[in-house]
Copies of this chain bind each other. A is one copy, B any other.
Amino acid sequence: MVRVLAAVLAAFLAASSAFAQGLIVEKKAFSMPSYTTAGGATIKDVKIGWEAVGTLNADKSNAILITHFFSATSHAFGKYAESDKAAGYWDYLIGPGKVIDTNTYYVISSDTLVNLNVNAPNVVTTGPASINPDTGKPYGMSFPVVSMKDFVNVQKALVDSLGIKKLKAVMGASMGALQAYQWGASYPDSVDRIIAVVGAPRGDAFLIGWLDAWAAPIRLDPKWNGGDYYGKEPPTEGLKAALKLITLQAQQSEWAAKAFGIAPADPAKDPAAAMDNKFKIEAALDTIAAARAATSDANSLLYLVKANQLINVDPASIKAPVLVLYAPTDLVFYAPRVGAEAKEMHAETGELPGPNGHVNGVIGVAQAGDKIKAFLAR
């Protein structure tokens, strides 16, 4: 009874505090005068954005790093201003009294290198759209290849700069899970626990093929122009087609059936009557892709594709305890493969069922809340 009352009180306090004032976070920039990639290329003036919530304890042992997915940014929790329409993507998980309780943990989240959302406010990244200090012009396709190793090396420098010797956990979804595994492989002494959501450590031929397919429409768009489009008209149509593919593959059949069915986009324009008459889902995917394209950069998408293709962590090399949360109907990370690799790591596992396939790893993680809390507390 006391436990129930305590839980009710905690929930009330969390809710009322959220009501009174949502979590406000400040975007900061971390910079390195020079960074040498895993492939040996040197990039000058490397910057990534980051944000944090909670209080770092005296021995700096309570920090959790959140690593973001392909099309995301550091904005995993809170709002930048009360007037923001939406909070960060895992705001329902991270905050005072939440699954990842910021009364206990200091939670950091950073932008990756070659972040997709170059044109979004608050995103700080270094990639093909950045100015090359040596030429004064954007890198374009002369930017060096980077991989999860590089994303993680730069994050390590950020974590070092805060005086943190060992992270309590690294947690991320999809490409965020790849970074979490890469942390485990690259810096085994600096990670206490890994929470990998809808992702798997090993390189995978099928995913490499799909990632190539995501990139293809950009290269087909004549405005891409070999990556040289900054200051000109960008390859928006190719970028939209790429983002449409990513949107589809991250979703699943039930989502589409429920949200759109087989209705026409315009009731006056029967899709059977003309080649250009669309179904509702086609028009919706166009709208979603256009909205995503507005803040995205085509070359950065190509670099992210390459970075994801290059993931290749041996599950046996992971020493930290791992919690694997997977979506049974995931079309990006095939559940049987995720399960097999989880077994190799003797990982604890949890299912994230739901109508959204891969996206269940972003919007449906609350259902594994108790598992996450117990895993962090153990």
Task: Give A residues with C-beta under 8 Å from B.
Answer: 38-39, 141, 145, 147, 203-210, 212-213, 216-217, 220-222, 237-238, 241, 244-245, 248, 251-253, 255-257, 259-262, 271-275, 278-282, 285, 302-303, 306, 309-310, 312, 331, 334, 336-337
Contacts and interface: CB of A to CB of B under 8 A. Distances in A.
Nearest to A146: B272
A206 B257 contact: yes
Nearest to A252: B206
Given A204-B253, A208-B262, 8 more contacts: A205-B260, A206-B257, A208-B279, A208-B281, A212-B285, A217-B220, A220-B221, A262-B312
B275 A302 contact: yes
A293 to B, nearest CB: 13
The A interface, classified by DSSP as helix, strand, loop or mixed, is: helix
A271 B305 CA distance: 12
11 contacts: A145-B274, A208-B262, A208-B279, A208-B281, A209-B281, A209-B282, A216-B217, A216-B245, A217-B241, A271-B306, A279-B309
Contacts of A238: 220
B285 A209 contact: yes
Contacts of A206: 248, 251-253, 255-257, 281
B275 A306 contact: yes
A40 B233 CA distance: 42
B262 A39 contact: no
A253 B200 CA distance: 13
A314 B202 CA distance: 43
